[in-house]
Amino acid sequence: MGPGLAVLLLFFVVPMYYLAHQSLETGSLEVGYTFKWAWHNYSDAISSNHQQLLRSLSYAAISTGIAVVVSYPLAYWIAFRGGRWKNLFLLLVIAPFFVTYLIRTLAWETILADGGPVVGVLRWLHVLGGDGRLLATSAAVIAGITYNFMPFMVLPLYASLEQIDVRLLDAAHDLYASRRLSFLRVTLPLSLPGLFAGTLLTFIPAAGDFINAQLLGTPKQYMIGNVIQSKFLELTDYPQAAALSFVLMAAILLVVLVYARILGTERLTG
């Protein structure tokens, strides 16, 4: 057990310490960085990037919501109607994600392109406002994010739905519960742990993503990940970038706590 633990301590915990250290330094690459308990890095980071921060959280929340709507019936159908083909259907769900993330995202560029079929249909329906484009809009970025993190929603939902004892549903039926009622009172509450896990596993990477905004959007759609990435790798503004990383984590933690509160922890655990 030792070596694995050592790797996690040395290459996960220690880097977090250095990142925290960095977030309180001042200076630049030329003159060097010095540690000064520079808490203003945090207030500066928030005040100059609150737009991207809010955008990240709202894109991630919308994507997670759409992912639930698409995934829940799919996971439900595989779990209850999949029969002996369950594993095969599950493989079908995961299979698309064996194509490299970036290539998948580039494929969305083709699908949403100006001359493409999706834009054609939407123009025909007169639902595309402005310049009639889909690429380089928030919708495109949200579509990309939703797609790319979908398996993280389907798999936990399936896992919790699959464990439901069918006899409970029989019992509800015997007690004259309508299908709607037995879904609302039996299936849905029992699948909440999967819903919770799926939401976390989708929301967290979605909020930190920068690839979809970069490839499918414009700087107007940039998320906090784009800012962190460019501050780290292009502007070498390490202290601000480090501070933003922690702001992102804190924002995610806050959203998750509120969400857990709303969903009800007692319902999740018992």
Partner 1 sequence: MTASVEPMPLPAQRGTALSRALERVRHWVLPAYAGLALAYLFLPIAIVIAFSFNDPKGRFNYTWSGFTFKNWAHPFAVPGIGSALRISLEIALISSVVATALGALMALGMMRHRFRGRGLINTLVFIPMTTPEIVMGSSLLTLFFQKWPLIGYWHLGFGTILVAHITFNISYVVVTVRARLAGFDNHVEEAAHDLGADGWTTFWKVTLPLIAPGVLAAGLLAFALSVDDFVITYFNSGETTTFPLFVWGAARVATPPQINVIGTMIFVVAVGIALTNVIAQGRRARRIAAA
41-80 residues in contact with partner 1 (CB under 8 A) are 70-71, 73-74, 76-78
Helices (H), the chain: 2-8, 14-23, 40-81, 86-94, 101-111, 117-124, 138-148, 150-162, 166-174, 179-182, 188-208, 211-216, 224-233, 238-263, 265-269
Q: Does position 133 bind partner 1 by CB under 8 A?
A: no
Q: In the numeric block, which tokens belong to residue 235? A: 């502007």
Q: Are 126 and 175 in contact (CB under 8 A)?
A: no
Q: Does position 156 bind partner 1 by CB under 8 A?
A: no
Tracing tokens 């309180």 back to the chain, one arrives at 24
Q: Does position 257 bind partner 1 by CB under 8 A?
A: no
Segment 224-253, which members bind partner 1 (CB under 8 A)?
A: 225, 228-229, 232-233, 238, 241-242, 245, 248-249, 252
Binder of partner 1 out of 57, 153, 204, 213 (CB under 8 A): 204
Q: What is the 3-state composition of the chain as percent helix, strand, coil, each rounded to the nearest 5? A: 80, 5, 20
Binder of partner 1 out of 142, 145, 157, 200 (CB under 8 A): 200
- Piece in contact with partner 1 (CB under 8 A), picked from 44-52, 125-133, 172-180, 262-270: 172-180
Segment 71-130, which members bind partner 1 (CB under 8 A)?
A: 71, 73-74, 76-78, 81, 84, 87-89, 91-104, 106-111, 113, 115
Q: In the numeric block, which tokens belong to residue 200? A: 């976390």
Residue closer to partner 1, measured from CB, 123 or 173: 173
Tracing tokens 């460019």 back to the chain, one arrives at 230
